[in-house]
Amino acid sequence: MNLRTTDLPTAPPVRGRTPLVATGFAIAAMLMYFAGIFGVYLKERALVRAEGGSWIPDKVTIELTQPGMIIWTLLISIFVMQWAVYSIKRDDRQHTLLAIGTTILMGAMVLVQTAWHLSQTNLVADEGPTTAATLIYTIVGSYVVAIVIGMVILLLTGFRTLAGQYGSQQTDGVVAASLYWYSLVFVYFIIWIAVFIAK
Amino acid sequence: MTENQTETESNTDESASRPLEIGGLAGAFGTTDHKKIGRLYIFFGLTGGLLSLILHFLLRLERISIGDTTVLDFGSSNQYFQTWSLSRTSLLFFCVVPLILGLATYLIPLQIGAPSIAFPRASAAAFWAWLIGISIHVVTVFADGGLGIPEPVTQFAQGMDPEATELSILSIAMVVIAILLASITLIATIITQRPQGMTLFELPLFSWSTLVATGIWILTLPVWLGNLMIAWVDFKGDDSLRYGNVENMWDQLSWLWSQPMIFAFAIPVLGIAGEIIPVSANQSQRQYTLQQVGIGALGALSFGAFAQPFFNAEVGNQAVYVVMGLVVVLPVLAFLGGLVDTLVKGTPKVSAHLILALISMLCLLVAAAISALSVSGPALGVIQEIDSDWLGGIINWLKDLQGTVIATSVMEHALIASIIASVAGLYYWSPKIFGNKLNNNVGVLSGLAMFGGLLLSGGSNLINGFLDESESVYMANAYDGIWNQNAVEFVNIIGLIGSILLIGGISLVIFDLITSVILGKGDVDSAENPWNGHTLEWATQSPPPSGNFEEPPIVHSERPLLLSGGTE
pLDDT, residue B225, reads 97
pLDDT, residue B8, reads 41
Residue of A nearest to B308 (CA): A40
Which residues in B lie closer than 8 A to residue A124 (C-beta atoms)?
237
Identify whether the C-beta of residue B205 lies closer than 8 Å to the C-beta of residue B270: yes
Q: Is the pLDDT of residue A23 over 80?
A: yes
User: E-assigned strands of B3-98?
Assistant: 65-66, 69-70
Mean of pLDDT values over B323-329: 93
Give the CATH H-level superfamily of domain B32-565: Cytochrome c oxidase-like, subunit I domain (1.20.210.10)
Question: Smallest CA–CA separation between A2 and chain B, in Å?
Answer: 6
Integer Cα distance of B547 and B552 in angstroms = 10
What does pLDDT average to over chain A?
A: 89
Predicted confidence (pLDDT) per residue in B432-451, tens digit: 999 889 999 999 999 999 99
Question: Smallest CA–CA separation between A124 and chain B, in Å?
Answer: 10
Q: Which of A3, A15, A38 to mutate to test the interface with B (most CBs of B within 10 A)?
A: A3
pLDDT, residue B101, reads 97
Predicted confidence (pLDDT) per residue in B379-411, tens digit: 776 665 556 667 777 777 777 777 788 999 999
Q: Which of A30, A40, A43 to mutate to test the interface with B (most CBs of B within 10 A)?
A: A40
- Confidence label for B506 from pLDDT (cuts 50, 70 and 90): very high
Which B residues in the span 224-243 are in contact with A, Cβ-Cβ below 8 Å?
A: 224-227, 229-230, 233-234, 237-243
Predicted confidence (pLDDT) per residue in B115-125, tens digit: 899 999 999 99
Residue of A nearest to B542 (CA): A4
Out of B192, B239, B528, whose CB is closest to A21?
B192
Q: Is the pLDDT of residue B315 over 80?
A: yes
Q: Is the pLDDT of residue B91 over 80?
A: yes
Identify whether the C-beta of residue B454 lies closer than 8 Å to the C-beta of residue B416: yes
Q: Which of B189, B233, B251, B536 to mutate to test the interface with A (most CBs of A within 10 A)?
A: B233
Residue of A nearest to B216 (CA): A29
Which residues in A lie closer than 8 A to residue B312 (C-beta atoms)?
43
Which residues in B lie closer than 8 A to residue A45 (C-beta atoms)?
none
Contact between B241 and A134 using a beta-carbon 8 Å cutoff:
yes
Long-range CB pairs of B52-55 (<8 Å, 24+ gap) are B52/B86, B52/B87, B52/B90, B52/B91, B52/B94, B52/B95, B53/B91, B53/B499, B53/B502, B53/B503, B53/B506, B54/B503, B55/B83, B55/B86, B55/B87, B55/B90
Question: Smallest CA–CA separation between B303 and chain A, in Å?
Answer: 12
pLDDT, residue B35, reads 93
The residues pairing with B69 across neighbouring beta strands, listed in sequence order, are: B66
What does pLDDT average to over chain B?
A: 86
Contact between B311 and A141 using a beta-carbon 8 Å cutoff:
no
Q: Which of B169, B184, B548 to mutate to test the interface with A (most CBs of A within 10 A)?
A: B184
**Closest listed residue to residue B99, CA positions, set B210, B232, B22:** B210
Quote the DSSP letter at residue B285: P
Q: Is the pLDDT of residue B516 over 60?
A: yes
Number of C-beta neighbours around residue B162 at 10 A: 15
pLDDT, residue B559, reads 73
Q: Is the pLDDT of residue B477 over 70?
A: no
Helix H, strand E, coil C: the string for B170-225 is HHHHHHHHHHHHHHHHHHHHHHHCCCCCCCHHHCCHHHHHHHHHHHHHHHHHHHHH
Span of A93-97, A124-128, B444-448, B455-459 with lowest mean pLDDT: A124-128
Identify whether the C-beta of residue A147 lies closer than 8 Å to the C-beta of residue A107: yes
Integer Cα distance of B93 and B213 in angstroms = 15
pLDDT, residue B73, reads 78
Predicted confidence (pLDDT) per residue in A141-190, tens digit: 999 999 999 999 999 999 999 999 999 888 999 999 999 999 999 999 99
Question: Smallest CA–CA separation between A55 and chain B, in Å?
Answer: 14
Q: Is the pLDDT of residue A127 over 80?
A: no
Span of B2-16, B262-276, B526-540 with lowest mean pLDDT: B2-16
Predicted confidence (pLDDT) per residue in B542-562, tens digit: 888 888 887 767 777 767 776
**Closest listed residue to residue A36, CA positions, set A196, A187, A198:** A187
pLDDT, residue B16, reads 44
Q: Is the pLDDT of residue B367 over 80?
A: yes
User: Cis bond leading into B543, ω under 30°?
Assistant: yes
Mean of pLDDT values over A29-52: 93
Residue of B nearest to A3 (CA): B539
pLDDT, residue B23, reads 67
Predicted confidence (pLDDT) per residue in B349-359, tens digit: 999 999 999 99
Mean of pLDDT values over B336-361: 94
Give residue B103's identity as a one-letter amino acid code: L
Contact between B238 and A11 using a beta-carbon 8 Å cutoff:
no
Predicted confidence (pLDDT) per residue in B233-276, tens digit: 988 876 667 787 777 888 899 999 998 999 999 999 999 999 99
Contact between B552 and A1 using a beta-carbon 8 Å cutoff:
no
Contact between A134 and B230 using a beta-carbon 8 Å cutoff:
yes
Mean of pLDDT values over B71-94: 87
Which residues in A lie closer than 8 A to residue B221 (C-beta atoms)?
29
pLDDT, residue B379, reads 74
Q: Is the pLDDT of residue B15 over 70?
A: no
Contact between B564 and A2 using a beta-carbon 8 Å cutoff:
no
Interface check B531 vs A, CB under 8 A:
no
- Confidence label for A41 from pLDDT (cuts 50, 70 and 90): very high
Interface check B194 vs A, CB under 8 A:
yes
User: What are the C-alpha distances in Å from A78 to residues A73, A148, B136, B270?
Assistant: 9, 16, 40, 43
Sequence-separated (6 or more) residues with CB below 8 Å from residue A11: B113, B195, B196, B197, B551, B552, B553, B554
SS3 content of chain B, % helix, strand, coil (to 5): 70, 0, 30
User: Ranked by mean pLDDT, which of A104-118, B67-81, B472-486 comes out on top?
Assistant: A104-118
Domains and CATH numbers, chain A: 32-197 (1.20.120.80)
Written as one string, the DSSP assignment of chain A is ----GGGSPBPPPPPP-HHHHHHHHHHHHHHHHHHHHHHHHHHHHHHHHHTT--SS-TT----SHHHHHHHHHHHHHHHHHHHHHHHHHTT-HHHHHHHHHHHHHHHHHHHHHHHHHHHHH-TTTTT---HHHHHHHHHHHHHHHHHHHHHHHHHHHHHHHHTT--BTTB-HHHHHHHHHHHHHHHHHHHHIIIIIIT-
Contact between B560 and A8 using a beta-carbon 8 Å cutoff:
yes
